[in-house]
Amino acid sequence: MATDTRSFGSFAEFYPYYLSEHQDRTCRRLHFVGSTVALACLILLAFTGNLWWLLGAAVSGYAFAWVGHFGFEKNRPATFRHPFYSLMGDWVMYRDIWMGKIPF
């Protein structure tokens, strides 16, 4: 697993790198499932006010993604090096999968 020390001046510069770290279809699918579960948890949080759903959102989002990276993509998640851009990238990739721009 290589360590990336690049810095990015904008999300637009980061996103192509982010996509290059998600070439494995199973990894992308696990991200998608994790993001869907996280979104469901956030919706439940909004309806119930129960803060445990916030923990559920974080755990599900990261757990599925990390299984994808360590088990299938064989790389270190960008979250460790670029946490804010990585979170943004996850939701942009999620949208792009829904829109058919990225193969599911």
Mean pLDDT of the chain: 94
- What are the distances in angstroms from CA 37 to CA 24, 45, 60, 104? 20, 12, 6, 17
pLDDT above 80 for 2? no
Do residues 100 and 45 lie in contact, with contact meaning Cβ atoms separated by under 8 Å?
A: no
pLDDT for 7: 87
Q: How confident is the model at residue 1 (pLDDT cuts 50, 70, 90)?
A: very low
| Domain-located, residue 11 | no
User: Which pLDDT score is estimated for 30?
Assistant: 98
Enter the pTM of the model.
0.90
Total domains present in the chain: 1
How far apart are alpha carbons 34 and 21 in whole angstroms?
17
- Across the range 47-51, mean pLDDT stands at 98
pLDDT at 5: 60
Supply the pLDDT for residue 4.
58
Query: Could you give the dihedral angle defined by the CA atoms of residues 12, 28, 73 and 2, in that order, rounded to the nearest 10 degrees?
Result: 20
3 belongs to a structural domain: no
Helix H, strand E, coil C: the string for the chain is CCCCCCCCCCHHHHHHHHHHCCCCHHHHHHHHHHHHHHHHHHHHHHHHCCCHHHHHHHHHHHHHHHHHHHHHHCCCCHHHCCHHHHHHHHHHHHHHHHCCCCCC
Residue 12 included in any domain: no
Q: Is the pLDDT of residue 53 over 80?
A: yes
What local confidence, expressed as pLDDT, does residue 19 receive?
Answer: 97
Structural domain boundaries enclosing 71: 18-98
Any domain includes 38: yes
